[in-house]
Each structure stands twice: as structure tokens, then as C-alpha cells.
Amino acid sequence: MDFKMLLTTFGLIFLAELGDKTQLATFCFSADCNSRTSVFLGSAGALVLSSAIAVLFGAGVSRVIPVNYIRIGAGIFFVIVGIWTLYSSTRAGFSF
């Protein structure tokens, strides 16, 4: 097992997930019910399943498409989403 990759993945995913809509939904579910164990197991299971799908899909795609192209495509995608988000927020009248 590559512990450097394990810790890097853990750190980046942990930071990326802090305060996102999934965490906020889990927060609301646990505040709304008495079975916090069920909420924890449900949200943890969903994150594990979505991560497993991403790993399997990434492994499959990397067999067909070179990793550099995947990285470039992901970078372009994030830039486009960022520009679209900025455009949408300025069009809606929000200021920075």
C-alpha cells in the first residue's frame, strides 16, 4: 500500500468535503432525527460507494485515455465551471 498516496488522498478529500452540501445535508439529517448512528452509517456508506464508483471509473477510463489528457480535461472542466459560476453570480446581481 502506498501510504503517501493514502494520506494525500485522505487530506485532499477531507478538505474538499468540509462544508459542502453533502456535509450540510448530513448535519440537517442528524439534527432532525434521534438515530444519529443511522445517519452516520447512511452518509458514510454513500461516500464509500460514490468513492468506489469514482475509483473504478477512473481506473477504467485511464486504460483508454492517457492520464495527462484526463488531467487536462479535468482542469478545463473546473475552469469552465468556475467561469460559469462567476458569470451566473454577477448576472444575478451578487457582489464579491
pLDDT, one tens digit per residue, over 10-34 is 998 888 888 788 888 999 999 988 9
Q: What is the pTM of this model?
A: 0.68
- Give the integer Cα–Cα distance in Å for 17 and 51: 12
* pLDDT score, position 17: 83
* pLDDT score, position 93: 67
Contact 39, 29 (CB under 8 A): yes
**pLDDT tens string 33-71:** 899 999 999 999 999 999 999 999 999 999 999 999 999
Q: What is the largest CA-CA distance in the chain?
A: 50
69 to 52, 55, 56, 75, 80: CA distances (angstroms): 22, 17, 18, 10, 16
